[in-house]
Structure 1
Amino acid sequence: MSAVEPRRRRSARLAAGDLLPVQVRRLLVHELRAAASLGRWVARRKHGVRPGDHAAGYTSPQTALLYVLLCVSVIETIALAFLIPWPAVHLAMLVLDVYGVLQVLGLQAACVTRPHVVGADGSLRIRYGALFDLTVPADAIASARVDRRYPLGRLLTLSDDGVLDLIVAGQTAVTLELNHPVVFTRPLGSTGEARTIRFHADDPRALVGALYPRPAQKAV
């Protein structure tokens, strides 16, 4: 391969970056990660969980809803196969329905394979599938407690006083107080600063316990 070829590839990547808005590029990355998560889901592999880490799932509140959406999409696909007489239209609708099914499965797979992670060093990685990923260093964590709330709003909401809610199916279960603000990135690329983070965990007590392990008792 000539030395010109790598330069051409780099130029092509830079040109694509200039042509595509950052929001579009991030959405494409999210979709690729969700697609890769389908393979991890089948293989039962977790992303970013090392030996000694504590993985905490957060999908329980949304699982039933996502599977209902999946069933509705499948039923719709079957119904349209009988109702639409035009092959071209039917094919287009089939492609869209299959894409929708893969989107739902990819979202669930990404959430299952990308859990929250309490690191062996005391850090906390808070995630939501391929859409949100924030690592809070151990020295930034002031306290963590089980705190069940049912806020209204989208997946991510940031209040004026710096409270970030990462909402799963209308609920959060852990409140994390910080020693200093941390910067986070929203799914489409904009950033914000959080002083308090509220997020969901299926077993919030286990997550908090992993952040504050009890000292080993001496044998008598």
Structure 2
Amino acid sequence: MASLGLWVTRRQDGVGAGQRALGYARAQAPMMYGFAFVCVVESVGVGFLLAKVPVAHWIMLVLDVYTVLMVLGFQAAAVTRPHVVGPDGLRVRGGAQMDVWIPLERITSVRYDLRFPKTEAAGRQSQERDGVLELAVGAQTCVTVELAEPVTAVKLLGQRVAARTVRFHADEGRAAVAAIREAIARREEGAGEEGRGAVMPV
């Protein structure tokens, strides 16, 4: 619900100076807006049916409005909490439900890799198995990040999951891969300059 406020004010969470946001909400937008429209139509229909039963009418109206807000909230969370890449690392997120921080030095490879993972439950956005964390949007992932050491992903209610391979979706998958590679190259270049500038003891 907090994401709705960020969405209305056109703000993004966790995107600081020198960092680049990698959006991923586009793939799910048609489904979410369609679902919200269906909920609104259903609310109007139920309103007519229960017009002569005021108590039931108001109870259903509150529930329907809450449902519409929740649906819009899921989309708002995806829009306002993008993946973020910066000088220190890559932050991969699944709306407000999943957050994983990946230091750049742990990334051994990153590639464009379009996949359509099978989910164990309908509507499940993320799944973990055998050290692989998949954050699908629109039932697809397109970026695969391999790590030298596992990282810990934090879920909405605080559960922690260790992963050595992270797969996620980005609206511009190839551009996301290029941005991550560029950040890694800049870090390695900076580390090399520091090494060359160090003064060796006599």
TM-score of the pair, normalised by structure 1: 0.78
Q: Give 2:63's aligned residue.
A: 96
Q: Give 2:178's aligned residue.
A: 209
Q: Give 1:12's aligned residue.
A: none
Unaligned 5+ runs, structure 1: 1-34, 216-220
Q: Give 1:140's aligned residue.
A: 106
**Aligned Cα root-mean-square deviation (Å):** 1.4
Asked whether the 8 Å contact 1:175–1:199 carries over to 2, the reply is yes
The match for 1:156 among 117, 126, 148 is 126
Q: Which amino acid aligns with 2:75?
A: Q
- The secondary structure found in structure 2 opposite 1:179 is strand
Q: Give, in angstroms, the shift of residue 185 of structure 1.
A: 2.2
1:46-125 aligned at under 5 Å gives the runs 46-84=12-50, 85-121=52-88, 123-125=89-91
Q: Give 1:173's aligned residue.
A: 142
- The secondary structure found in structure 2 opposite 1:212 is helix
Count residues in correspondence: 179
Alpha-carbon deviations, 1:87-117, whole Å to 9, x = none? Answer: 0001000000000011011111111011000
> What CA distance in whole angstroms lies between the structure 2 residues aligned with 1:206 and 1:44?
23
Unaligned 5+ runs, structure 2: 187-202
Q: Does 1:189 align with 2:161?
A: no
> What CA distance in whole angstroms lies between the structure 1 residues aligned with 2:61 and 2:68?
11
- The secondary structure found in structure 1 opposite 2:61 is helix
- Percentage identity across aligned positions? 50
Asked whether the 8 Å contact 1:54–1:207 carries over to 2, the reply is no
Alpha-carbon deviations, 1:96-148, whole Å to 9, x = none? Answer: 00000110111111110110000133x10001111111111111111110000
Asked whether the 8 Å contact 2:117–2:136 carries over to 1, the reply is yes
Q: Which amino acid aligns with 1:159?
A: R
> What CA distance in whole angstroms lies between the structure 2 residues aligned with 1:43 and 1:56?
19
- The secondary structure found in structure 1 opposite 2:96 is coil
> What CA distance in whole angstroms lies between the structure 1 residues aligned with 2:8 and 2:156?
25
Q: Which amino acid aligns with 1:145?
A: R
- The secondary structure found in structure 1 opposite 2:147 is strand
TM-score of the pair, normalised by structure 2: 0.84
